[in-house]
């Protein structure tokens, strides 16, 4: 039995509680378990003995810094380390409430500073070129129509690739709106552009497989749900053909949707709802991006400044 069993038992209780009470997704639970288990493993070795509830309540700032320094030596970047620390703090907040232990030092630990990474959208003409060209990356006409339909949905509705490929056949024919099950199993309603409806209809007309309502909408050559890696691969091929940067990924289509809406005068709150962001601060990254774009245009027009 591991010397850190006591702490790991508490970790499992915490994960069970957030799964039951907060409805956290399976991927979120896995990320929390990975990050906090790594922290517990380090502290167990750091203390060199039993590591359970008592030791968790005795952690000092120096112990937290020792863990963070170890992570940096392992090559963990500041952004990833800040994410790990956030998971650890969430665990300790629960410990303070559920177990009544002292959690001042962990919660007072400061995250490493890093420059927020802005979304990297594509220009509107680049996004359109991607949609118009991606069908030529496959030999079968129906798979080209399928890939076009997927990418049109990513750009036209601002979907995550997992959301688009998670749709079932009963979602089509698309109406004026589409109900999407997003992160945390939260539903949202997104408007559907005529171009997206047409792309889906054209794909279904040539798809060689009969699709029942409960079957996946987008399928691979063997009739199974389409793997996200395929869309990533055909976009890689297409961007090389078009001379687009490596940032032209499936997620960039979603970024482009949000950025182009904002540039057209879209309301930030409305864009937040369309993207399914839990926090407005996440959507506000597009405001910073828009400002950065305006400054770049200004610099090109006035290279010597005002």
- Output the pLDDT for position 226: 93
Q: What domains appear along the chain, each with residue ranges and CATH number?
A: 5-108 (1.10.150.130), 124-253 (1.10.443.10)
- Output the pLDDT for position 258: 73
For the chain of 306 residues, list the mean pLDDT of each consecutive stretch of 10: 67 88 78 92 84 87 93 89 92 91 90 65 82 87 92 85 90 84 75 87 90 87 90 92 86 76 60 56 50 46 48
CB atoms inside a 10 Å sphere around CB 17: 14
Percentages of the chain per state (helix, strand, coil), in multiples of 5: 65, 5, 30
Contacts of 136 (CB under 8 A, 6+ apart): 144, 241
Q: Are 158 and 275 in contact (CB under 8 A)?
A: yes
Helix (H, G, I), strand (E, B) or coil at 181: strand
Distances (CA, A) of 57 to 13, 104, 217: 17, 9, 51
219 forms beta bridges with: 225
Active-site annotation, residues = 160, 183, 251, 254, 277, 286
- Output the pLDDT for position 206: 92
Q: Are 274 and 177 in contact (CB under 8 A)?
A: no
């Amino acid at each position: 039995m591991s010397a850190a069993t006591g702490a790991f038992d508490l970790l499992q209780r915490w994960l069970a509680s957030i799964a039951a009470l907060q409805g956290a997704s399976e991927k979120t639970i896995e990320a929390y378990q990975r990050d906090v288990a790594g922290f517990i493993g380090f502290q167990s070795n750091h203390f060199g003995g039993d590591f359970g509830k008592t030791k968790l309540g005795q952690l000092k700032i120096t112990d937290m810094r020792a863990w963070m320094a170890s992570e940096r030596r392992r090559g963990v970047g500041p952004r990833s380390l800040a994410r790990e620390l956030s998971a650890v703090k969430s665990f300790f907040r629960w410990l303070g409430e559920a177990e009544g232990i002292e959690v001042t030092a962990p919660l007072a630990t400061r995250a490493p500073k890093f420059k927020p990474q802005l979304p990297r959208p594509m220009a509107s003409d680049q996004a359109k070129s991607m949609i118009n060209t991606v069908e030529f990356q496959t030999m079968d006409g129906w798979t080209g129509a399928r890939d076009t339909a997927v990418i049109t949905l990513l750009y036209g509705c601002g979907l995550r690739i997992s959301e688009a490929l998670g749709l079932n056949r009963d979602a089509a024919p698309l109406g004026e709106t589409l109900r999407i099950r997003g992160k945390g199993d939260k539903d949202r309603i997104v408007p559907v552009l005529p171009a997206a409806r047409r792309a889906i209809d054209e794909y279904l007309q040539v798809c060689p497989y009969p699709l029942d309502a409960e079957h996946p909408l987008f399928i691979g050559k063997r009739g199974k749900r389409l793997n996200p890696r395929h869309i990533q691969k055909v976009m890689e091929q297409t961007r090389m053909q078009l001379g687009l940067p490596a940032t032209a990924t499936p997620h960039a289509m979603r970024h482009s949707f949000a950025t182009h809406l904002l540039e057209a005068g879209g309301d930030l709150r409305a864009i937040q709802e369309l993207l399914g962001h839990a926090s407005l601060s996440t959507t506000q990254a597009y405001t910073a991006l828009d400002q950065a774009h305006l400054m770049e245009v200004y610099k090109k027009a006035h290279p010597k400044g005002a």
